[in-house]
Amino acid sequence: MLWFVFALLLQAPNAPAPAKAPEQPIPYSHKKHLAMGLKCKMCHTNPDPGEAMGFPQVATCMGCHRSVKTDSPHIRKLAKHAAEKTGPAWVRVYRIPTYVFFSHRAHTEAGAKCETCHGPVATRDVLWKETDISMGGCMDCHRRNKASVDCAYCHEAK
Ligand code: HEC
Ligand code: HEC
Ligand code: HEC
Ligand code: HEC
Ligand code: HEC
């Protein structure tokens, strides 16, 4: 019996608890929405010059929510944003200092997947910083992929 419990414990998925997930102004769930077959680029459009992925326009949400779940207080809040042409002030999860060069497009064109740098987003109700985007994290992947680790590759030459 004890062995059985022990075996179960060992098999329990050791997904880190989202203890550090910031509270968002509207409880949007990637898991629920991606289960409907939506694609990342529907909401994260990577506009020119391609550095940022960006956050969705409220209009993108309202495409569905004009008629879906309209009596939810969260959706009412969303509709108010749409009427006032403001966006919910999403709390940033991943962020690097402005003195570091980083381009989403350069990385996706080199074959990097969203999940490599952001974890299994499609299975998450809430997002938190679950991967290492520190300088060490960038360097490890650059070494593995024979990309440059020269200081001036990621930082302005002084
Ligand atoms: C229906 C719209 C929608 C789709 C589709 C969507 N997202 Fe998002 N995404 C959001 C919204 C809204 C936020 C802000 C709230 C949050 O952080 O949970 C966000 C935030 C994020 C963030 C955190 C950004 C930051 O630094 O604050 C990442 C990373 C992300 N999405 C990745 C993805 C990936 C990868 C996919 C596809 C697997 C995806 N998203 C699909 C709407 C969407
Ligand atoms: C393709 C249609 C579609 C799009 C686009 C969409 N949603 Fe949804 N959303 C749904 C559906 C359907 C549900 C109900 C899912 C469920 O309850 O399992 C839902 C549920 C929600 C809920 C939970 C509401 C509640 O009180 O239960 C929130 C919050 C939400 N969506 C926010 C957003 C935001 C913010 C965006 C834009 C970034 C967005 N949705 C884009 C279809 C969509
Ligand atoms: C090589 C690593 C890497 C890959 C691959 C990657 N991201 Fe990011 N992502 C980052 C970093 C680093 C930041 C913080 C950028 C900053 O602060 O300037 C970020 C920020 C974001 C943000 C916040 C808004 C923004 O534009 O800064 C969203 C949304 C996002 N990523 C979504 C995605 C999606 C969707 C994909 C796949 C199409 C993806 N990311 C692929 C590393 C990555
Ligand atoms: C998934 C592995 C991976 C991670 C993680 C990663 N990189 Fe890269 N990066 C690459 C590869 C591969 C290239 C080479 C692309 C090419 O040769 O076109 C590259 C190219 C670059 C470039 C030059 C491309 C350009 O012109 O914009 C910069 C700058 C850069 N990375 C910065 C970063 C920073 C900063 C981080 C951490 C926040 C990071 N990278 C994380 C794999 C990665
Ligand atoms: C692949 C990209 C990349 C390369 C190459 C790189 N850095 Fe960085 N560096 C970063 C990122 C990302 C940060 C920000 C980390 C964070 O968010 O704290 C950073 C931060 C720093 C900081 C500030 C650290 C702190 O603790 O405040 C210094 C100093 C620095 N880098 C120096 C260097 C030097 C010197 C080199 C060459 C040996 C170098 N970097 C090469 C990506 C890179």
Structure tokens, 19: 């203890």
- Average pLDDT for the chain: 90
128 and 17 in contact (C-beta within 8 Å)?
Answer: no
Helices 73-84 and 58-65: crossing angle, nearest 10°? 130
Rg (CA), the chain: 19
Is 153 a pocket residue for ligand 5 (Cβ < 6 Å)? Answer: yes
Query: Residue 13: CB within 6 Å of ligand 5?
Result: no
- Judged against a pLDDT cut of 90, whether residue 157 lies above it is answered with no
CA-nearest residue, atom 36 of ligand 3 = 114
Closest-lying ligand 5 atom to the alpha carbon of residue 138: 1
Residue 137 near residue 116, CB atoms below 8 Å: no
The atom number, within ligand 5, closest to the CA of 142 reads 1
Q: pLDDT value at position 7? A: 40
Which run of H or E residues covers position 82? helix 73-84
Q: What is the three-class DSSP state of 100?
A: strand
- Contact between 79 and 65 under an 8 Å Cβ cutoff? The reply is yes
Calculate how far, in angstroms, residue 129's C-alpha sits from the geometric centre of ligand 5.
18
User: What was the pLDDT predicted at 15?
Assistant: 53
pLDDT over 70, % of the chain: 87
CA of 71 to the centre of ligand 3 (A): 33
Q: What is the pTM of this model?
A: 0.94
Residue 78's Cβ-count burial label (10 Å; 0-12, 13-18, 19+) is: buried
